[in-house]
Amino acid sequence: MSGETPSNPREDATRIVLAAISAADPKEGVKRSFRIAANELAVGTWHRRTEEIGRIRVVGAGKASAHMAAALEEVLGDRITSGIVITKYGHGVPLRRIKVVEAGHPVPDEQGVEATLELMQHVAGSAPDDVVFVLLSGGASSLLVAPAQGITLADKKTTTSVLLSCGATIEELNCARKHLSRVKGGQLLRACGSAQVVSLILSDVIGDPLDVIASGPTVPDPTTFGDALGVIDRLGIRKSLPPRVVSHLEAGDRGEYPETPKPDEGSFSNGHALLVGTNSIALKSAAYEAERRGYRAHVLTSSLRGEASEAAKVVCALAEGVPAGERPTALILGGETTVTLSRDAGKGGRNQEFALSAAREIRGRSDITVASVGTDGTDGPTDAAGGLVDGATWERALRRGLSPDAALRRHDAYPLLSATGDLVMTGPTGTNVMDVIVALAVPRKNTF
């Protein structure tokens, strides 16, 4: 097929993205991680003889945690004593032995607080022969919420909203949240006492750092109260945060509150962590599907970051620069961009903004198609996974009396892409390994 123009690049882009999402299925990742013999249970490098295991408890949080729990029920069945996982509204699935609670994301709510306190009680008093499986995926930082002493949920909600609105990175956001929490930054592992703790983790963070994914509730925290203060000062938001939050961080920096657990704390000898799904795995599957459809596939990075609208310009420039003799080519990227919101921000998400910005760059071209999709199926506070645009998207919007430039300025991509038929709607996928971006460059025909 090399050199030929694919008959339907939009369909190809859709199928390539769906292949990436399918490869990150958390149920399959969890099931692949287990090895069960007649007298031994093993996960990664952790293993125990079955007669040495007492109770098996399951706890977790994240947008994929219910699906991960379903896989664990398939693997362990009635060996599971009990459990509770917290997931985003609309992401729950029916389970037999593990309780599922739905709560607020990306801004935490009271349901999340109550469920987290129940989860902490669930692991309290665990014995040395008990095993606690902790299931973590993207969204757990908002769903696993237990405010620190003197901090209210309203304080945390305001802090989260301020950090999100000013374009804080996930690392910066989690650094602050760890030091306003009783569960994040290794504190869940501390609560499990002497039990063996095995964390199965679906990564939604660039580079897969275990201390950042889900705010690292079961691994040591290298950040400090001073680091959290540094984040809010770098962003210039001290005056925008609740006074109790700033006072708490300052008091912690003075040593008036205990720090989050550090690597030399003894409890971490009982902790084991395993990645069961990553963005890189998803991108490899996308590349395989692209090649199956006749494209030269190039995975450029799993670490894309920065402002969504600016990142889109770079990706489109790369696609435009593919030599004619190397088309059709699929450029495949992953990561997580950001959007710095304005006061009058409309409705959308980073993937929709990426797609609309890409539509401006490829306006009038017949040879470039771009899809940007969140693997969890929900981009920002919308029901869309992202957007899929081509060289005609911009003109379709203008013919409907819409202003794409105004939509970009107001971060209001959702209504426009809905009107032009360029939203990607998958529904909740049950996984979350950041975003997948596909730019298809095919032989050029006449402009639109």
- Whether residues 75 and 140 share a domain: the answer is yes
- Whether residues 16 and 61 share a domain: the answer is no
Domain count within the chain? 2
- Whether residues 192 and 309 share a domain: the answer is no
Mean per-residue pLDDT, 2-18: 87
- What pLDDT does residue 446 have? 56
| Structural domain contains residue 13 | yes
Q: Which residue has the higher pLDDT, 90 or 289?
A: 289
Per-residue model confidence as pLDDT tens digits over 141-194:
889 999 998 999 999 889 988 998 888 887 898 899 899 999 999 999 999 999
- Whether residues 266 and 341 share a domain: the answer is no
Mean per-residue pLDDT, 267-272: 84
- Whether residues 336 and 205 share a domain: the answer is no
| Structural domain contains residue 111 | yes
| Residue 275 in this model has a pLDDT that exceeds 50 | yes
- Whether residues 266 and 412 share a domain: the answer is no
| Residue 417 in this model has a pLDDT that exceeds 50 | yes
- Whether residues 212 and 86 share a domain: the answer is yes
| Structural domain contains residue 158 | no
- Whether residues 188 and 47 share a domain: the answer is yes
| Structural domain contains residue 245 | no
- Whether residues 272 and 341 share a domain: the answer is no
Task: Report the percent of the chain where pLDDT is more than 90.
Answer: 83
Band of the pLDDT at 138, cuts 50, 70, 90? confident
Lowest-confidence region among 16-25, 143-152, 172-181, 341-350: 341-350
- Whether residues 264 and 142 share a domain: the answer is yes
- Whether residues 219 and 306 share a domain: the answer is no
- What pLDDT does residue 288 have? 98
| Structural domain contains residue 241 | no
| Structural domain contains residue 248 | no
Task: Report the percent of the chain where pLDDT is more than 70.
Answer: 98
Lowest-confidence region among 32-41, 169-178, 251-260: 169-178
| Structural domain contains residue 201 | yes
Whole-number average pLDDT of the chain = 93
| Structural domain contains residue 232 | no
- What pLDDT does residue 170 have? 78
| Domain encompassing residue 431 | 9-20+280-441
Band of the pLDDT at 4, cuts 50, 70, 90? low
Q: Is the distance from CB of 311 to CB of 236 less than 8 angstroms?
A: no
Per-residue model confidence as pLDDT tens digits over 49-64:
999 999 999 999 998 9
| Residue 1 in this model has a pLDDT that exceeds 50 | no
Mean per-residue pLDDT, 226-233: 96
Q: Can you give the CATH number for the domain in which 192 is found?
A: 3.40.50.10180
Per-residue model confidence as pLDDT tens digits over 365-397:
999 999 999 998 989 989 999 999 999 999 999
- Whether residues 324 and 207 share a domain: the answer is no
